Chains A and B, each alone.
Chain A
Amino acid sequence: MIEVVLNDRLGKKVRVKCNGDDTIGDLKKLVAAQTGTRAEKIRIQKWYNIYKDHITLSDYEIHDGMGLELYYN
């Protein structure tokens, strides 16, 4: 189980517990449940790399405590 921090730099900072083998799509659903936006509207990035929905967190080498950028579509 890892805990990821998502920050949109406009006031929304969310800590989400998830598995390493969850996909980004699953992570978006968890974030949507916590923030109240829709999962399809969320975009997760790291600098200019937009993370794709079907790839797992472990494949993106997202480890415990790592921060991701939260943007909206």
Chain B
Amino acid sequence: MANRTDPSAKSIHGTNPQNLVEKIVRSKVYQHTYWKEQCFGLTAETLVDKAMELDHLGGTYGGTRKPTPFICLVLKMLQIQPEKEIVVEFIKNEDHKYVRVLGAFYLRLTGTVMDVYQYLEPLYNDYRKIRRKQADGKFSLTRVDEFMDELLTTDYSCDIALPRVQKRWVLEQAGTLEPRKSALEDDFEEDEEKEEDEPADISEVDYYHKRSPTRDKDRDRRHDNYNHHRDRRDYDRGRGRDRDRDRDRDRDRDRERDHHHLKDSDYSRDRDRDRDRDRDRDRDRDRRDRDRGRDRRERDERKRHRGSMSPPRRRGDVERDEPKKKKEKKEKKNDGTDHPDPEIAEANRLRASLGLKPLKL
């Protein structure tokens, strides 16, 4: 009786509005004491009072998946279906951030695509902190605009599957929505002007000319990498994209300095030695985590080495390290996905995509 949707309520997305929350989560809410005690006979006005008492967001948590009051109120709103004006009032409310978030979440579930973008995007400017209860019961910190981003871009939040909204660019192409004007645009323009005016280092100026100045993301990343530039060690430690970019910069730098030919060779030798030393260190760390088999092989090698009378030569180390490094790279690639057994190869591929280590056979 108390759990039935208001008979005069419209159907949303073609279904009973309460069905937007899936069966298991809904049953958990119905059985919860907060729903039974506090949410009985709520109307739109009294719901605001309850919403003002909220102090965290979240879906279900814990081993038995208890629902948070936030989810209970969302389900209550779906049950009573307040008018759109009331929901917009919730969103416009500046004082209570959780009321705002509750209204935004409800609108995301029930509103049309245009409504969603129209009312949720202004909330990108609200950067207040909100508390979020995670699935394991612990709290985490997030901000209103981060949560809005999650609502607008993902299709699952707070244990509720959000209805599909088209991507922004689709609507912009169709002409129904205008391109997004960020509130920070003015700040970016000021920054751009400042950068062009400042007398920069020589190295800075070179990159500036080599890369297109309109790539904001690159500029920010470049700024962050400047301090790393000075320290050659960090250079080599950079992984993935950073390493490629640093290597490109290296190559650029070398090309520029070609006229100092003699100095160049010294430069590269020092760098090689540093690089190998760094690689040794990194590899040692990796080695500890690897299979026992390989450790045993290493131990045998070392034993053999210890048996020999000759002292360890530095250049010899450098030469031995290069082939070892190459072998490591090959082994890393072969790790798992190139197994002859197709079942195991596929399992390893899946594990790699999930970020897990390959199967130990």
Contact = CB atoms under 8 A, between A and B. Distances in A.
Question: Are A and B a genuine interacting pair, yes or no?
Answer: yes
A11 to B, nearest CB: 17
Contacts, number: 37
B361 A73 contact: no
Given A29-B354, A30-B351, A30-B354, A73 B60 contact: yes
B344 A17 contact: yes
B114 interface: no
Interface residues of A, number: 19
Contacts of B136: 53
Contact of B24 (A20, A30, A52, A73): A73
B349 to A, nearest CB: 11
Contacts of B25: 73
B360 interface: yes
B135 A26 contact: no
A17 B359 contact: yes
A50 to B, nearest CB: 5
A38 interface: yes
A33 interface: yes
A52 B343 CA distance: 28
Interface string A12-31: 00000111111000100110
A38 B156 contact: yes
B24 A72 contact: yes
B65 A19 contact: no
Contacts of B63: 50, 52
A38 B60 CA distance: 14
Give me the 4 closest cross-chain CB pairs, A-B, nearest first: A1-B359, A73-B65, A17-B347, A29-B354
Interface of A: 1, 17-22, 26, 29-30, 33, 38, 40-41, 50, 52-53, 72-73
Given A18-B359, A38-B156, A73-B24, 4 more contacts: A1-B361, A29-B356, A30-B354, A73-B60
19 contacts: A1-B361, A17-B347, A17-B359, A19-B359, A19-B360, A20-B360, A26-B354, A29-B354, A30-B350, A30-B356, A33-B350, A33-B354, A40-B135, A41-B24, A53-B136, A72-B24, A73-B24, A73-B25, A73-B65
